[in-house]
């Protein structure tokens, strides 16, 4: 039986979070009342002229550089012509032969080894309007607020060989993009969207098979499931003697299958031509270099640095770098507390738990790095137990109070005063002669009972380890 | 998607603009033309192409490609908000409207 190889290329559309749209001064905002962020330019009224938002080109350069692309020194825009109600001008301003960036790559881990996924190009374009299908009134409603939202489309080479690789590429890409702070990268809001080109070919064949383009992929896991379904479908078609038709398929999440998009069966012929309303853009090499220098530290570099500078495991560092605010928080703590492993444990354990349970970002928790360091220090110097400290974290998160203030308020400082503890121990030993005899005759587990009694007397404020020590010492000197 | 998009090319010198070509392009442009018009436009477009083809006899090896008729570059605007139209103004252009949106015939996906 023929073994097939899966070939996947991904197209990712990213909405750039500039204040205004790409070619006009309308607010670039999600969730406004319909048709309120529109003007003659983005509505494509006659006689209007687009003017490029400076920041869009800058964001485009950032994305390109972060994905190891070369930035074109000559950039222009082109018209992509098609008729659809979401496109008021009858064409989309996009980039055809001189996009902002080309020929980059992104590394993913496959079976523990790095695999380089090529990035063909990244180009700037305007988003289309939003169509709302009104089944009650059997019509379509059009909201042009999204029209003219700046987009960058990132096109990968067909280098991905499984749905898992596609998933990992998307995860890695999203992490890099989120570091750049140029987009919300939120699939639910549509600020990050993905199409997948999927084909199969007999293993060893060089020529690519006929591809299907999968759309309507609303999450990374949907991308994975849709690819798996499509690969199985294509394999069945070919094995039963059929051939694959090049077409656009919609992923139906509820039914778990791809559906042919009949309305788009006519051949794509977009008749691209240079956009006469926009002059070209020349990007000088020093501008590109300055932009490269201004890029933030990217996830991979941060991971390596955390492992080498803070002696963290790749696993711990890997969790910290998934969220820039976690990584920054960690570094601030590390400035005033030497045990970096302990800080990482606190962040990756209890703090992440608080964030997940409350569905809040780290910055929304009322926890300062210094307060965490204080909390850790209080466990270390025996003031509070580890368990009490975790409870205290929940209080800090809610009240933003200082750890020491809370310890005092709640009266949970452990009694470490030896004299006080010894007095309690002596009393208990005197009151529990029977238990003492049992312990002395070898039943050491009975000691636990005495420690428990002592904890009760101190209302849980005693350090159990210390109590244990005192009991043992007293018993053997009795 | 851009990779398989084709730009209309008139590479071959002897290529004829046929009625089929005219009908294909008018279809894409959503222009309704009859057969008589298609025949006429085929001839007109053919003549225009032959005329433009004269340019091929010129030596342009030393000429910089023109991407825009204006000799300008890097025209930007700053990322500052300008007032938009009101919903009422925006929808004033619509033939039909509903719930603050333009109402159009059902688009089947």
Are A53 and A27 within 8 A, CB to CB?
Answer: no
For residues A131 and A70, state if they share a domain: yes
In a mutational test of the B interface, the residue from A12, A23, A28, A36 whose CB has the highest number of chain B CBs within 10 Å is A36
Amino acid A266: pLDDT:
54
- Give yes or no: residues A64 and A192 share one domain: yes
Q: What's the structural domain count of chain A?
A: 3
Give yes or no: residues A310 and A197 share one domain: no
Contact A138/B106, CB-based, under 8 Å?
yes
Decide if A129 is inside a domain: yes
| Inside any domain, residue A292 | no
Q: Do A367 and A319 sit in the same domain of this protein?
A: yes
Kindly report, residue by residue over A260-303, the tens digit of the pLDDT: 875 444 556 888 999 999 999 999 999 999 999 999 999 999 99
Domain with A327, as residue range(s), is: 297-410
A175 and A195, same structural domain? Answer: yes
Total beta-carbon pairs less than 8 A apart between chain A and chain B: 161
- What does the alpha-carbon distance between residue A188 and residue A174 come to, in Å, rounded to a whole number? 14
Token duo for residue A14: 């990213």
Write the CA distances from B19 to A34, A178, A268, B44, B107, integer angstroms: 43, 52, 20, 11, 30
| Residues A170 and A61 placed together within one structural domain of the fold | yes
**Chain A contact set for B81 (CB, 8 A):** 19-20, 25-27
| pLDDT of amino acid A457 | 79
| pLDDT at res. B109 | 53
Domain boundary among A287, A317, A345: A287
pLDDT computed for residue A267 by the predictor: 55
**Residue A128 lies inside a defined structural domain of this protein:** yes
Kindly report, residue by residue over B8-24, the tens digit of the pLDDT: 444 444 557 888 889 98
pLDDT in tens, A318-341: 999 999 999 999 999 999 999 999
Same-domain pairing of A266 and A158: yes
Q: Which of A410, A439, A457 is the last residue of a domain?
A: A410
Under DSSP, is residue A106 helix (H, G, I), strand (E, B) or coil?
strand
For residue A79, is it within any domain?
yes
Q: Which residues of chain A have pLDDT under 70?
A: 1, 262-268, 414-417, 477-478
Whether A281 and A380 map to the same domain: the answer is no
pLDDT tens-digit map of B31-58: 999 999 999 999 999 999 888 888 888 8
Please tell me whether residues A197 and A254 are part of one structural domain: yes
Q: Select from A394, A410, A426 the last residue of a domain.
A: A410
pLDDT in tens, A431-464: 888 888 888 888 878 888 888 888 887 777 777 7
Q: What is the DSSP string of A136-186?
A: TTTEEEEEGGGTT-EEEEEEE-S-B-SHHHHHHHHHHHHHHHHHHTS----
Do A12 and A143 fall within a single domain? yes
How far does A22 lie from chain B, in Å, by closest CA? 9
Nearest by CB: A271 against B7, B85, B86? B7
**CB proximity B55 to A under 8 Å:** no
> For B64-96, what is each residue's pLDDT tens digit?
888 888 889 999 999 999 999 999 999 998 999
Q: Domain with A457 in it: what CATH number?
A: 1.10.10.410
The position carrying tokens 């059929």 is: A242
Q: B65 — contact with chain A (CB < 8 Å)?
A: no
The distance of A120 to chain B (nearest Cα, Å) reads 10
Task: Give the position of tokens 């695999």.
Answer: A115
Q: Residue B14's pLDDT is what? A: 56
């Amino acid at each position: 039986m023929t073994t097939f190889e899966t070939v996947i290329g991904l197209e990712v559309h990213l909405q750039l979070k500039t204040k205004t749209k790409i070619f006009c001064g309308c607010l670039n905002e999600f969730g406004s009342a319909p048709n309120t962020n529109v003007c003659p330019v983005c509505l494509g009224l006659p006689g209007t002229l687009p003017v490029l938002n400076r920041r869009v080109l800058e964001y485009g350069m950032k994305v390109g550089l972060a994905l190891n692309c070369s930035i074109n020194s000559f950039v222009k825009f082109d018209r992509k012509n098609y008729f659809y109600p979401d496109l008021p001008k009858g064409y989309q301003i996009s980039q055809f032969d001189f996009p902002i960036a080309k020929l980059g790559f992104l590394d993913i881990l496959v079976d523990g080894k790095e695999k380089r996924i090529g990035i063909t190009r990244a180009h700037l374009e305007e988003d289309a309007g939003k169509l709302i299908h009104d089944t009650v009134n059997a019509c379509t409603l059009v909201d042009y607020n999204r029209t003219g939202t700046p987009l960058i489309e990132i096109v990968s080479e067909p280098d991905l060989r499984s749905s898992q690789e596609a998933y990992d590429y998307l995860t890695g890409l999203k992490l890099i993009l989120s570091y750049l702070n140029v987009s919300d990268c939120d699939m639910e809001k549509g600020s990050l969207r993905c199409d997948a080109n999927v084909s199969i070919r007999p293993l060893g064949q060089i020529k690519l098979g006929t591809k299907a383009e999968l759309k309507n992929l609303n999450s990374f896991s949907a991308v994975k499931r849709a690819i798996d379904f499509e690969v199985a479908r294509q394999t069945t078609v070919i094995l039963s003697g059929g051939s694959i038709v090049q077409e656009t398929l919609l992923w139906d999440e509820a039914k778990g299958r791809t559906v042919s998009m009949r309305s788009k069966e006519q051949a794509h012929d977009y008749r691209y031509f240079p956009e006469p309303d926009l002059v070209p853009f020349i990007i000088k090499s020093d501008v590109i270099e300055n932009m490269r220098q201004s890029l933030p530290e990217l996830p991979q570099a941060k991971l390596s640095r955390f492992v080498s500078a803070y002696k963290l495991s790749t696993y711990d560092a890997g969790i910290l770098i998934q969220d820039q605010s976690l990584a920054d928080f960690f570094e601030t703590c590390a400035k005033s507390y030497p045990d970096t492993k302990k800080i990482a444990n606190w962040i990756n354990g209890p703090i992440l738990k608080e964030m997940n349970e409350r569905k809040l970002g780290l910055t929304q928790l009322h926890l300062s790095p210094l307060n965490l360091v204080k909390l850790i220090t209080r466990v270390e110097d025996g003031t509070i137990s580890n368990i009490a400290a975790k409870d205290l974290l929940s209080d800090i998160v809610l009240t933003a109070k200082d750890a020491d203030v809370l310890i005092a308020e709640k009266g949970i400082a452990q009694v470490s005063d030896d004299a006080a503890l010894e007095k309690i121990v002596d009393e208990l030993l005197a009151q529990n002669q029977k238990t003492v005899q049992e312990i002395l005759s070898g039943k050491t587990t009975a000691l636990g009972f005495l420690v428990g009694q002592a904890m009760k007397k101190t209302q849980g404020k005693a350090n159990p380890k210390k109590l244990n020590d005192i009991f043992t010492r007293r018993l053997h000197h009795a | 998607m851009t990779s398989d998009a084709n730009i209309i090319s008139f590479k071959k010198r002897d290529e004829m603009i046929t009625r089929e070509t005219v009908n294909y392009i008018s279809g894409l442009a959503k222009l309704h033309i009859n057969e008589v018009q298609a025949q006429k436009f085929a001839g007109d477009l053919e003549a225009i192409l032959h005329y433009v083809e004269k340019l091929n006899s010129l030596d342009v090896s030393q000429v910089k490609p023109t991407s825009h008729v204006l000799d300008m570059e890097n025209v930007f605007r700053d990322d500052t908000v300008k007032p938009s139209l009101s919903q009422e103004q925006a929808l004033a252009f619509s033939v039909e409207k509903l719930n603050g949106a333009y109402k159009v015939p059902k688009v089947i996906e």
